[in-house]
Amino acid sequence: MTHLAESRATLVYHLDYEMPLNPLVDPKRAEKIINYLVREGCVTSRQLRRPDAVSFEQLARVHDYRYLEQVGHAETLDRIFGIPVQAQELERVVNVQRRQVAGTVLAARLAVKPWRRGRPVVNLGGGLHHARADGGAGFCIFNDLAVAIGQLRSEGYAGRILVVDLDLHHGDGTRAIFAADESVYTFSVHSADWDDSPAVACLDVSLGSSVGDRVYLDALRENLPRVFADASPDLVFYVGGVDVGLEDKMGSWRITAEGMVARDQLVLEHLGERSMVWTLAGGYGDEAWRYTARSLAWLLADLDAPILSALERELRYFRRISQQFTRAELSGASEEDLILTPEDLMMDLVGPSQTTKLLGHYSLYGVELILERFAVLSKIRAAGYPRLELELDTRHATGERLRIRSKDLRKDLLVELVVRVSSDVDPYRCLSIEWLLLQNPRLQPHADRPLLPGQQHPGLGILAELVMTLVMMCEQLELDGLLFSPAHYHVAAQAHGLLNFLDPVDEARYAAINAAVTQMDLARATGLIHAGGLVEEQTGEPVHWKSVPMALPVSKRLKERFDSADYERSVMEAASRLRLRLRHSR
C-alpha cells in the first residue's frame, strides 16, 4: 500500500495551521486527517512537507501595500471575521493564515515539477478564496491561491492555470484578482454569486440553496468537461471545500459523504497528467475532517470506506449495549408475557392506556436500567446530584411522562420528558418527543455561554445520550424513527444533519434561515430570529421560527424518504422561492 501512496500524492502541513478564532472551525482538522491516513496505512512521513513562512514580498505581489499595512489592526480583522478579535490574538490569527498561504505556495512549487504531473499536492489548509487584492472577507485575510500563482509567475512558470472552486461559497476573491488575466480560468460552483463583474476567463454556476447530491453531481458532470476544454490547463488549483456537506454547521446544502467523495473523484478523473494543488477551504464543525480524509484515502491507497461520525460511533456503542438487555429486564415481566403485538401498540394509540409501563413495554426499573447503562444517570450525578429518583406517568395529558429529580430536600426537577407513539405521519409509526426539559438549577450561567431562549437554567450536557437512548427504544419497538419539533432555531441547528425536517418546505426554510445567519453564533442567531431581525427579501415581513417536526430515521423506509429524488427536488423547489435577509442589511 505504501508504494501506491508514494506515487500518488504529497501532503503539505504545519502545526501552525491551527486557527484560534472562529469557534465553528475545528483547529485539529488537518491533524485528524493525517492521523486517519497514517492509522489506515495510506501515508508515510516521506509524503509530508512542511512549509516555511511566506514573506511580505510574496504577499505584495497580489495584495495592495496599503491593505497589508492594515492587516495587523483589530478593526480590519473584526470586519473580515465578523466578530471582535482580541488584542492578544491579532498576531496569532495573521500568522496562522500566513502559514497556510506558505503551504499553498510550497504545494504549487512542488506540483509543477515535471515528475509530479498527475500527482496532486494537497495543502491541508488554505483555500482562502474570498480575499481580494485590496482587502479580506469571509474569514480570509490573504488569498493563498493568488499568492501561489504570483510566486510561480515570478519564477518563470508560464503554464495555463484552472481554478476549480467547489466550496459552498463563491470564489469571488480569486475571480476578481484574475478577472483580466486570460491565463487563469476560474470555475466556481456555489450557492449564490457574490460577484458578477466582467471576467475574461470564468464560469460561475450558482445552484441556490438546499442542493443535494443529484443536482450537485449533475452540474459537475455537465460543466467540468467544458471548463477543462476551455481552459486547457497545465496546472489545476482545486478548492475542495466541504462546507457543502449535510452536517456542516454553517452550510445550507445537503451533500452526503458519498456525494462528497464522488465529487472529488470526478475532479481527479478530469485531471489526467496535469499538475494539481488541492486546498481544504471551508468546512465547519468537529466532523468536517472526515470528508477530505475519505477522499485522500481513496486517492492515496484505493481505500474508499465510510468514516463514521462521533454520533455514528456512539450509536454503534449504544446498540451493542442495547443488545445485551433481556426483555424481562426492561419490562419486569416473565418472558412469556413479553410478546408485544401490533394490537397492543394500537390499543395504546386509540384508547387510554391501562399499563404503568412506558410505551407499554418499559417498567420503571427497566427505564432506570437503560439510563444507567447509557450513562445518562452517571452524567447527571457528575453534575452535582449524587442521589436521583425517577417518576413515570403513563397517563399524562399529552403523552407518557418521565421525570428525574434530585433525591434530597430540594427535589430539583432535572429532566422532564414526554413521549408518545405517533402515526401522524402516514404511513410511518414514530416515537414523538412532545416535551423535553434538561436543566441544572444549581448551576449559574457562564458569561461566555448565556442562556438561550427557552432556557431558565443551564443544561445538563446529556442531550446526546438521551437521544441515543430514545433511538434504541425505537429500534427495540420496531418504530420508524424519532420525531421532534424544535421550539427554537438553536435547537434545530444543533440537531440538523442527524435529523431532517419531515416537510421539504420546512427543510428549505431552515436552510434559508441558516444561510442568512451563517456567520453568527447560535445565541446571537436565535435572538435575532426571535426579535424579528430576519425578513423576507421581497416583502420585508419578519420571519418567525416555526415549531415543525424533524425526524431521525431508524427504519429503512423512513431513511429512503429523505434519500429520495422526490424529497430532494421538493426541497430545491421550495428553496428557489425563498429569499431572506437581515432586517438592516440593504
The reported pLDDT for the residue numbered 64 is: 96
Judge whether residue 344 has pLDDT over 50.
no
Angle between helices 463-476 and 310-322 (to 10 degrees): 50
The reported pLDDT for the residue numbered 447 is: 72
Q: 365-411 pLDDT, tens per residue? A: 999 999 999 999 999 999 999 999 999 999 999 999 999 999 999 99
The reported pLDDT for the residue numbered 279 is: 98
Judge whether residue 339 has pLDDT over 50.
no
Strands (E), 266-387: 275-279
List the one residue out of 516, 487, 519, 482 whose CA is nearest residue 499: 482
Sign of the C-alpha dihedral computed for residues 567, 570, 574 and 575 taken in this order: positive
Strand partners, 235: 161, 275
Angle, CA of 229, 233 and 237, to the nearest 5°: 115
The β-bridge relationship of strands 388-396 and 399-406 is antiparallel
Task: Please state, in angstroms and rounded to a whole number, the distance separating the CA atoms of residues 370 and 468.
Answer: 11
Check whether the bond before 427 is cis (ω within 30° of 0).
yes
The reported pLDDT for the residue numbered 333 is: 56
Judge whether residue 497 has pLDDT over 50.
yes
Phi-psi region of 478 (alpha: psi -120 to 50; beta: other; left: phi over 0): left
Q: Which strand (E) or helix (H) includes residue 322? A: helix 310-322
| Grid cell for residue 450 | 448565556
Angle, CA of 485, 169 and 577, to the nearest 5°: 50
Burial class (CB in 10 A: 0-12, 13-18, 19+), 439: middle
In this structure, the chain runs to a length of 586
Segment among 324-328, 346-350, 438-442, 505-509 with least mean pLDDT: 346-350
pLDDT band at 103 (very low <50, low <70, confident <90, very high): very high
Judge whether residue 319 has pLDDT over 60.
yes
The reported pLDDT for the residue numbered 355 is: 56
3-class state of residue 30 by DSSP: helix
List the one residue out of 297, 227, 278 whose CA is nearest residue 111: 278
User: What is the average per-residue pLDDT within 328-344?
Assistant: 56
Judge whether residue 191 has pLDDT over 70.
yes
Spatial contact of 107 and 12, defined as CB atoms under 8 Å apart: yes
Helices marked H in 461-544: 463-476, 489-495, 504-516, 522-530
Q: Percent of the chain, pLDDT > 90?
A: 64
Residue predicted with more confidence, 558 or 344: 558
Beta-carbon count within 10 A of 324 CB: 8
User: What is the average per-residue pLDDT within 545-567?
Assistant: 93
User: What is the average per-residue pLDDT within 484-499?
Assistant: 86
Task: Please state, in angstroms and rounded to a whole number, the distance separating the CA atoms of residues 46 and 8.
Answer: 12
Q: pTM of the predicted model, to two decimals?
A: 0.83
Structural domains of the chain sorted by starting position, each given as residue range(s) with its CATH number in brackets: 2-307 (3.40.800.20), 308-478 (no CATH), 485-586 (no CATH)
Spatial contact of 192 and 138, defined as CB atoms under 8 Å apart: no
The reported pLDDT for the residue numbered 180 is: 97
The reported pLDDT for the residue numbered 340 is: 43
The β-bridge relationship of strands 399-406 and 184-190 is unpaired
Q: State CA 200 to chain mean position distance.
A: 34
Segment among 121-135, 172-186, 248-262, 436-450 with least mean pLDDT: 436-450
Q: State CA 85 to chain mean position distance.
A: 24
Segment among 183-187, 257-261, 577-581 with least mean pLDDT: 577-581
pLDDT band at 21 (very low <50, low <70, confident <90, very high): low
The reported pLDDT for the residue numbered 477 is: 93
- The residue written with cell numbers 419531515 in the block is 502
Phi-psi region of 138 (alpha: psi -120 to 50; beta: other; left: phi over 0): left
Mean pLDDT of the residues in the chain: 89
Residue predicted with more confidence, 129 or 538: 129
The reported pLDDT for the residue numbered 585 is: 60
Beta-carbon count within 10 A of 222 CB: 10
The reported pLDDT for the residue numbered 1 is: 40
User: What is the average per-residue pLDDT within 34-57?
Assistant: 93
Burial class (CB in 10 A: 0-12, 13-18, 19+), 115: exposed
Strand partners, 422: 430
SS3 assignment for 94-133: HHHHHHHHHHHHHHHHHHCCHHHCCCCEEECCCCCCCCEC
Task: Please state, in angstroms and rounded to a whole number, the distance separating the CA atoms of residues 182 and 295.
Answer: 31
Q: 403-448 pLDDT, tens per residue? A: 999 999 999 999 999 999 998 888 999 999 999 999 999 998 887 6
Segment among 2-16, 115-129, 409-423 with least mean pLDDT: 2-16
Q: State CA 402 to chain mean position distance.
A: 32
pLDDT band at 454 (very low <50, low <70, confident <90, very high): confident
Q: Percent of the chain, pLDDT > 70?
A: 94
Segment among 68-72, 91-95, 294-298, 309-313 with least mean pLDDT: 309-313
The reported pLDDT for the residue numbered 260 is: 97
User: What is the average per-residue pLDDT within 481-490?
Assistant: 92
Spatial contact of 462 and 376, defined as CB atoms under 8 Å apart: yes
The reported pLDDT for the residue numbered 338 is: 39
The reported pLDDT for the residue numbered 353 is: 42
The reported pLDDT for the residue numbered 538 is: 82
User: What is the average per-residue pLDDT within 162-166?
Assistant: 98
SS3 assignment for 133-192: CCECECCECCCHHHHHHHHHHHCCCCCCEEEEECCCCCCHHHHHHCCCCCCEEEEEEECC
- The residue written with cell numbers 476573491 in the block is 173
The reported pLDDT for the residue numbered 496 is: 83
The reported pLDDT for the residue numbered 112 is: 96
